[in-house]
Chains A and B, each alone.
Chain A
Amino acid sequence: MNLYKLVIICLLVVSCKKDKHNDGVNTPVDYFKNGLLVVNEGLFQQNNSSLSWIDFSTGLINNEVFEQKTDRQLGDTGNDIGRYGNKIYVVVTTSSTLEILDAKNGNSLKQINMVDGGTPKQPRFVAFTNGKAFISCFDGYVDVLDTTSLTITQRIKVGANPNEIHVANNKIYTVNSGGLSYPNVDSTISVIDPISLVETQKIVVGKNPYRITSDNAGNLYIVVQTGLNTVATQLVKVKPTLEIDTVFNWPVNLMTKVGSNIMIYTLTESNQAAIQLFNPTTKSIVNSNFIDASLFTTFYGAQYDAHRNQIYCFDAMSYVNSGYVRVFTSNGVPVKNYQIRLNPSKTLIYE
């Protein structure tokens, strides 16, 4: 046998192998209706962030929506997705881009390279108000994008490594994590006026704040670290007047507003996980086992669908396996699971 025969035999062996898995037939989507458009973060330096379309009418999943619409990939670490008017905004952190798509059909409208002076801004989250998109960037700024001209019109200096950004009380709040300066992390949140587009206040809430939401009364809830040299967390309630109201010593990791309550995901140092329901009015846990946490390998966030009155939870499956959207009723009863791509973290809900 000579080399070439050997090579040919090997190639035949290889070419006869079939994929044991199929992660979706990815039937093209013309219009988004009655379903979920989920952003999958993917993994750092793998360029495998993606958008998955889950069609509730047909039960079909398309994991290549972005690729089919644009003939290119989304990029590296898609971190957030938001809809404002008739446009979708996808924030891609490591690629340092903002992808703007048509909200009806997903066609690409514009890609903005988020670079400042040759340095990637590393955009993280997006929030909307007053005709503008506010994008928190890890370089210490919140970028203001005019949603009509689709141009960045201003940069607002905030704290170190701003992460989640939230609109409430006619203000914009961003949590300054300072995570890249660990252990010298930041401990503030910045308040931005959406009219004057300036940071009007910065208040101390606790070390390494990285998540923020609000209740119906405009109170803010912020996840912070309990102290230095620990990853243990707690929840801080801040009044609309920016005074700290209560510090809840619960190891909150993620939170989602469900109706007038807040669903919190807690994870102890010994990895005891729970998904609980918190009533902001009574400041109490109303259901300590709202959703069975054992149904998840790696709980990675959730969103409430008021229209269908159900909750979409994300399971990152140890961060290295195909993730799931797990659907629950508003009472925490499991309904259905959809397997999509790596690290799903946020969704747009289509009626």
Chain B
Amino acid sequence: MKYYLVALVFWIVSYSAFSQDEKQLEELNIIATKLNKYYVDSINVYISRKDIEALQPDDLGELLKKLPGVNVKSYGGLGGLKTVSIRGLSGQHTSFVVDGFSQTNAQTGQINMGQVQLDNIESIVVQRGGTSELKIPTIAQLSGNAIVLESFQAKAPTIPFQQKLITKFGSFGQNDYTYIGKTGKEKLFGGIYFKYRSANGEYPFKYMNYKTQLSGIRKNNDFTDINSGFNLSYQPVKNHTINFQIQYSETHQGVPGAVVLYNDLAKQRLNTTNLQIKADYNGKVKAIGYRFYYSFMNDSLHYNDPDYLNITGELIASYRNKSHDAGFSMGIPLGKYFQFNTGVQEIISNLHSVESLNASPARFHFLSFAKTSFHAKKWNAVAQIGLQNIAEINRNGEKAPNRTRVNPFVEVRYHVHKNISLIAFYRNSFRMPNFSELYYNNIGNNNLKPEDAHQINLTTSYTIVDKNNIYLGLQASGYYQHVDNLILAIPTKNLFVWSIQNIGKNEVKGADAILSFSWSFGKHWSTQLTANYTFQQSLDLSDKNSPSYKQQVAYNPLHIVNGDFSISYRGIGIRYSNFYSSERYALNQNIPANRIDGFWISDLTLFSKFNIDKHNSVRFQFTIKNISDASYAYVKSFIMPGRHYLFTFVYEFI
């Protein structure tokens, strides 16, 4: 019943910690030009602005599906709900960080990736291993994994005034207008961001109703949303910075639900607003870096079903979710080879609903960690211990018991050769049951325990060729995950009476591989080929007597393949992007009746960029998505759009 959830992660070489020019980027760029010599050390995955522009994803969910080990569940196209699971861990094990601030939603435990827009995002990192970056709040150090975003406006302008204007027009009535501007210098700068997006969402779809081809138009799939933000950064003295951000977003959308045979009369509506106010102070005294941060979030959700067959003739559910999030982190070099990092964070969340929730819960989540890193020429090692305490109150009913957890993380990397490295880690983490699971009327269970996860990973990276404008790099990982106390919603007395219980166990054995090739030839030609493959066996170990015991968990394909090829001449080029997912099952019992067919989706993009002068440029892009007009679904009965088009115009003064 519940469900879903990012910046730049830096791995800072231990003793050269906190200054920008000393950072080494160690994420693996899986899409862009090449894996450079730093990237081969990493198990974190990095996506640049260039990649985002090339792919033109509708939202973060659509982009993340291009990454190895990421499994996206999409409940429709534009504007629809999208959740991700990374290496078989559900979305609630993933922390979401933007510009150094974590975003939490205690009601659902995760962020809807379908609502995260990327026009102002400069980079995305999927953090699978550890990081020492001070900008990463404690919660993202301790969670199963993290998605970390950095925005354009949060970085100091490189010239006194920079701006971008982006407009998009596409199928299904899509209109999209974005303006981002920032001005000032490193000492003092500020920025604004505004985006308006709307679409009627009425896409045609095809559905094989046994032997009868069913064609229809998706109805009640419209949306209108705005996203806006303002930020200010001030550096009173060198190495000391104060940042302030305020963001507001609002969404109005239809909720089409599944394609139900013979019934396309859904009229449900969903309106959400989100206000965030954030501030941090970053300082450095000698070699010791530190950061104080605080954020406030006010999230509201209003759901309406005008056809609900109760005595009032409609269903209204509204929720208000507030959180205060404050923390401190610090890094201290200890001699030549060691570094010590520590951090604390307190997140206070509460949930209130007039119509839909008898309970009035509040959560006090305290997090802390201590980490020691060792860095030598060939060896790096990290040992981290996390301590968390969760206390809850419920002003109207029974509260969940307080929980305390100690979670270790260890990572070792060995540079076999300058082009070959081995990285291994073990992480123990957990996710708390969300407020819906604990307190939802009638089905919530306030005795739920946290869901515990154990991850073991082994990664090797190899730069095969890196000369004469040719690059070829390869990375491969194997991993094992085990989840205990898996939280599942199950019907009990009948299909109308559900309960949430810690009755699940899940074991994941996976492997992924990434290949990156780039070649610049002639005077103005360049070509790229990137591919990744994920194998993931995720088995249900919940009940030995169940027919689904040791069968592949629902909605986890065994194989996912991504392959992108591009070629360009003087900024004019073409990109061919492919995504393949093998079959999956709608339920844990892997029988033909539950099978959802695998699919292969290809997108084709034509792009051209013209530099008017040193700072002014315009870019045109035309994308055909789902070229073959394939009928496919990630989730049973949630049919995705067939072939559709997107035209993008970008003016940049940067």
A3 to B578: give the CA distance in the assembly, Å. 10
Answer whether residue A188 sits at the interface, using C-beta atoms and an 8 A cutoff. Answer: no
Chain A interface size band reads: 35 or more
Answer whether residue A59 sits at the interface, using C-beta atoms and an 8 A cutoff. Answer: no
Answer whether residue A209 sits at the interface, using C-beta atoms and an 8 A cutoff. Answer: no
Answer whether residue A73 sits at the interface, using C-beta atoms and an 8 A cutoff. Answer: yes
Answer whether residue A82 sits at the interface, using C-beta atoms and an 8 A cutoff. Answer: no
- Point out the residues of chain A lying under 8 angstroms from B592, CB to CB: 19, 21-23
A224 to B265: give the CA distance in the assembly, Å. 32
A297 to B589: give the CA distance in the assembly, Å. 15
- Point out the residues of chain A lying under 8 angstroms from B257, CB to CB: 45
Q: Which of B495, B531, B586, B637 contacts A6 (CB under 8 A)? A: B531
A98 to B588: give the CA distance in the assembly, Å. 30
A271 to B587: give the CA distance in the assembly, Å. 24
Min CB–CB distance B355 → chain A (angstroms): 12
CB <8 Å contact, B211 and A180:
no
A297 to B580: give the CA distance in the assembly, Å. 37
1/0 contact string of A221-242 vs chain B (CB within 8 Å):
0000000000100000000000
Q: How many residues of B contact A (CB 8 A)?
A: 58
Min CB–CB distance B531 → chain A (angstroms): 4
- Point out the residues of chain A lying under 8 angstroms from B285, CB to CB: none
1/0 contact string of B575-593 vs chain A (CB within 8 Å):
0001010110011111111
Q: Which of A21, A71, A113 contacts B211 (CB under 8 A)? A: A71
Q: Which of B310, B493, B636 contacts A160 (CB under 8 A)? A: B310
1/0 contact string of A170-188 vs chain B (CB within 8 Å):
0000000011111010000
Answer whether residue B260 sits at the interface, using C-beta atoms and an 8 A cutoff. Answer: yes
CB <8 Å contact, B494 and A253:
yes
- Point out the residues of chain A lying under 8 angstroms from B545, CB to CB: 297
Min CB–CB distance A14 → chain B (angstroms): 5
Instruction: Name which of A114-122, A280-288, A305-313 contacts chain B.
Output: A114-122
Closest to B266 in A: A120
A319 to B260: give the CA distance in the assembly, Å. 19
Closest to B534 in A: A10
- Point out the residues of chain A lying under 8 angstroms from B571, CB to CB: none
Q: Which of A13, A96, A178 contacts B559 (CB under 8 A)? A: A13
Contact (A180, B309) CB under 8 Å given A7-B580, A45-B257, A71-B211 = yes
Closest to A99 in B: B262
Answer whether residue B311 sits at the interface, using C-beta atoms and an 8 A cutoff. Answer: yes
A122 to B533: give the CA distance in the assembly, Å. 45
Answer whether residue A48 sits at the interface, using C-beta atoms and an 8 A cutoff. Answer: yes
CB <8 Å contact, A95 and B561:
no
Contact (A63, B593) CB under 8 Å given A45-B260, A95-B260, A119-B307 = yes
Answer whether residue A2 sits at the interface, using C-beta atoms and an 8 A cutoff. Answer: yes
A residues engaging B (CB < 8 A)?
1-4, 6-7, 10-11, 13-14, 17, 19-23, 41, 43-48, 63-64, 67, 70-73, 75-76, 92, 94-97, 111, 113, 115, 118-120, 122, 138-140, 160-161, 178-182, 184, 231, 253, 267, 271, 297, 300, 317-322, 341-343
Closest 7 CB pairs of A and B: A45-B258, A3-B563, A181-B310, A3-B531, A180-B310, A21-B591, A75-B261
Name 28 A/B residue pairs within 8 A (Cβ), A-sorted: A6-B563, A11-B580, A13-B559, A19-B590, A21-B591, A43-B587, A45-B258, A45-B636, A47-B637, A48-B593, A48-B636, A94-B263, A95-B261, A111-B262, A113-B262, A113-B263, A119-B265, A119-B307, A160-B311, A179-B496, A181-B312, A271-B492, A318-B546, A319-B490, A321-B546, A321-B548, A322-B547, A341-B593
